[in-house]
Chain A
Amino acid sequence: MTAAQLAQHDSGPALVAYLSQSDASPTVCDLHALSPHVSKITPDIRAALVDGMMDGKINPVLWRRCVDILVERLPRQEAAPLFDDLVRAYRRNLADSDLERDPSHAQRLATLHRLYLERPAGLDGNLKVREAMSEEIRAALAKGQLGPVATHFGQELVATIEVENGRWQGHVVDAAMMDALAASGNEMTLTRFVERLPSAELREQAQRRILRVHIALSPFQEVRDGAAAVEETLIREGHNRIALKEHPLLSATLDASKTVIRDVLVRQHVWTRNATLLSYAASRSTLSVLPEVSFRGALWAKLQKISRPVSVCEHWKNLDPSPCIAAEDVSLDNPVAYRGSGGDFHFRDEVGVAEVVALAKNDKFVLPVKIGGRPAASLDWGLSYEKPEDLAFDGPSSGGVGPRLKVRVERPTATRFVFSVSAPQGTYTAVVEASNVHDFHVVSRGAPGLPGATGNKGSPGAAGAECSDGERGGDGGPGSDGERGGDGGEIVVDGTCASASCPDTVELLRTIILSVGGLGGPAGAGGAGGPGGPGGSSRSPSTHINSYGESVTDDPGCSSGSNGSAGAPGASGSPGRAGRPGKVTFRFVPTGGP
């Protein structure tokens, strides 16, 4: 299911079906995305989303990204019910004994757990739902009712709820505590503070301590030297963006181990003049949607006056003080690629015919990367076109001549053909791989002839008189002949070809660009013979008693007559003749090349 199809269905099951695919993009969860997405979050969609992950249909990592986007983009009052659903699912699954022995189950619960602990400050569901969960878990922990895995989750949840009240391990959280944590490099606790402390001021204080840890560990000398300024920049902007005017690009490389590599398959819908882009990978056997592409940690650039290569800025939550390139300074020069709101690149999976043809000009699906408008690197994916449906055009009505076609054949690459066919109803285009071209056809076909009419039925035989037979039915009339099929339409084929290969090209095209006569109409069947007339009725004998008391037969009577025989069926007509092929003219211009 493509993102466009999901947007059409716009339902919980469709969202689960989309997200359960390899390479699915979480941007379908972004209600404000430029790309196709769900239009609203209904209770059904919320329930399907939570169940989809807990049932193992949606990968937990992708699910988390989807929910993070939802939570970030939804108005708070609409995000709150989602947390109620999450809390209910959490309670249900914490008590499930599978948690103690199934690593996948534990990972799914851990995903819910982390989402809840790391939710944006101030965002929560219904207080009663939360309190019920909290009390239930505290009671279960106190009574030792939970297994080791569930106990771990329960204890961490309870401890983190304490942070929401400004306390940690029984002590009030203050600057001194945070300094001590920073001095020991304890990012884990400081991160809890950033996420859960009740006041924005305290959260910022915790954030600054994490930054100090990161700055102390930074491999960039200039970061450590300018620690205070870098800290302020990160607090203000979320990252340490480099101004490319002051630090121009010197060179760039892509780290192959962190770069998404796929091959693209174009599935054309020739009659609706569009196509679906799908992807396949060496590591899996099934087609899927196109992946998103992130250059964070994959694209590395050397910039003037920066001591080490830098990559694309991380999400602000990572509090990474490394100098970095802003996501908006990176562009991908591909007509179907666009940058999403998170800075990663996505692809439109439904494209028009003009883009289908434009893509065919390259052997590969080329993704040239620019940094600050300057060419930096290129990512080349495989590109192939699935064999499209034949471009076959029929005559307009029974026995009609096939339409006149004007066909333009181009070879954008040595391994690909582009057929543009102008017919009375419009122009249609198909891109065909050379390896498939023998199985593809352009056809002008005469319409089939009308079928012959069925002969008249024979008349019924007359009924027999009393005691006599019915008459024979009349014979059926002959069927008429089928009509002639329409002739194939005239086709003119234009194109260019390298001088040496022109004869071969034309010979090949003669086998696949065809004008075909329509089939003759089928013969009309002979009419059925009429039924024989029914036999006449019988007559009973009649007697009387004479004066001697004897019985005297006046009339011996008779038996009933036989039914007449049916008439013979009429003769069938002859099938119509097939139409004749039309003229096909090839006008190829040698280009002079080999």
Chain B
Amino acid sequence: MVVLASVRQACSLTLGVLLASVGCATPYAYSFRLENQEARPAARPEQRDVAADADVRAEILVDPTGARAILLDLTNKTDQVLQVEWGQITMIRSDGSSTSPRPHVDLGWILPGATINARLVPFALPPAGDRAASYQGSRFELVIPMIVRREPKLYRYSFTVSVHSM
């Protein structure tokens, strides 16, 4: 389970000609739950969900309102370099549309046994209001192309979203 950072700017001040009024929309936090069969959900909100196979371990925290990023730690469990196609990562929404977050700094391959920490940006969702609430129950899939033991592979991490009013 991943609970996200607080939402600070859910209310906005609007000035009329003579009157001042405060318009507030309900702020929400998102939880992205990793649904892969082999996934190990985080024990605490600020921790990362974990998915691993014989070659790759991925620890993922999705933060669409605070950092507006996907925090991804990838560990190469093989004895060969592992290349991630960093420019080809996509986050696909249930309606079929997608975004292409990229590492906030340029990254290379992952040496055997090494871990690389990537912050994939941008990934932002509405922090408040009906548009935020509409994401309740929606599904996302993070697709990461990699070259593992010289073979191209697509790693797919599926999430279900819970939206909580704050």
Q: Contact residues of A with B, CB < 8 Å? A: 99-104, 106-107, 110, 147-149, 152-153, 181, 184-189, 191-192, 213, 216-219
Known contacts: A101-B126, A148-B67, A188-B107. The answer to whether A107 contacts B83 by CB under 8 A is no
A-B complex: 8 closest residue pairs judged by Cβ atoms:
A185-B109, A186-B108, A188-B106, A185-B108, A149-B122, A184-B108, A219-B150, A101-B126
Q: Contact residues of B with A, CB < 8 Å? A: 64-65, 67-69, 81, 83, 86-87, 91, 93, 97-100, 102-104, 106-109, 121-127, 131, 147, 150-151
Cβ contacts under 8 Å, A104 to chain B = 97, 99
Whether A188 contacts B103 by the Cβ 8 Å rule is yes
Whether A149 contacts B124 by the Cβ 8 Å rule is yes
21 contacts between A and B (CB under 8 A): A101-B65, A101-B127, A101-B131, A102-B124, A102-B131, A103-B64, A103-B91, A107-B97, A110-B99, A147-B68, A148-B121, A152-B122, A185-B83, A185-B108, A186-B107, A186-B108, A186-B109, A187-B83, A187-B86, A217-B83, A217-B150
B86, B100, B103, B106: most-surrounded residue (chain A CB, <10 A): B106
Which listed residue, B87, B97, B100, B125, touches A188 by the CB 8 Å rule? B87
A99, A185, A213: most-surrounded residue (chain B CB, <10 A): A185
Whether B106 contacts A103 by the Cβ 8 Å rule is no
Whether B100 contacts A110 by the Cβ 8 Å rule is yes
- Of chain A, the residue at the smallest CB distance from B128 is A101
- Of chain A, the residue at the smallest CB distance from B126 is A101
Cβ contacts under 8 Å, B69 to chain A = 148
Whether B106 contacts A186 by the Cβ 8 Å rule is yes
Cβ contacts under 8 Å, B99 to chain A = 103-104, 106-107, 110
Give CA–CA (A106, B99) in the complex, Å.
8
Give CA–CA (A361, B20) in the complex, Å.
74
Cβ contacts under 8 Å, B65 to chain A = 101
Whether A148 contacts B68 by the Cβ 8 Å rule is yes
Whether A100 contacts B68 by the Cβ 8 Å rule is yes
CB distance from B75 to the nearest CB of A (A): 16
Known contacts: A107-B97, A107-B99, A188-B86. The answer to whether A100 contacts B124 by CB under 8 A is yes
Cβ contacts under 8 Å, A189 to chain B = 106
Which listed residue, B98, B100, B107, B121, touches A152 by the CB 8 Å rule? B121
Main secondary structure of the interface of B (DSSP, over half): loop
Whether B125 contacts A103 by the Cβ 8 Å rule is yes
Known: A104-B97, A152-B122, A186-B108. 18 other contacts (CB 8 A): A101-B125, A101-B127, A101-B131, A102-B126, A102-B131, A103-B123, A106-B99, A106-B124, A107-B98, A107-B99, A110-B122, A148-B67, A149-B121, A185-B108, A188-B86, A192-B106, A217-B83, A219-B150
Give CA–CA (A218, B107) in the complex, Å.
19
CB distance from A23 to the nearest CB of B (A): 14
Cβ contacts under 8 Å, B125 to chain A = 101, 103
Give CA–CA (A216, B150) in the complex, Å.
9
- Of chain A, the residue at the smallest CB distance from B119 is A152
Give CA–CA (A110, B64) in the complex, Å.
16
B102, B107, B108, B126: most-surrounded residue (chain A CB, <10 A): B108
Give CA–CA (A186, B87) in the complex, Å.
11
Whether A191 contacts B126 by the Cβ 8 Å rule is no
Cβ contacts under 8 Å, B150 to chain A = 217-219
CB distance from A571 to the nearest CB of B (A): 72
- Of chain B, the residue at the smallest CB distance from A110 is B100
- Of chain A, the residue at the smallest CB distance from B149 is A219
- Of chain B, the residue at the smallest CB distance from A109 is B122
CB distance from B78 to the nearest CB of A (A): 12
B68, B81, B123, B127: most-surrounded residue (chain A CB, <10 A): B68
Whether B122 contacts A106 by the Cβ 8 Å rule is yes
A103, A104, A217, A219: most-surrounded residue (chain B CB, <10 A): A103
Whether B126 contacts A217 by the Cβ 8 Å rule is no
Cβ contacts under 8 Å, B68 to chain A = 100, 147-149
CB distance from A53 to the nearest CB of B (A): 13
Cβ contacts under 8 Å, B106 to chain A = 186, 188-189, 192
Whether B97 contacts A217 by the Cβ 8 Å rule is no
Cβ contacts under 8 Å, A106 to chain B = 99, 122-124
Cβ contacts under 8 Å, B124 to chain A = 99-103, 106, 148-149
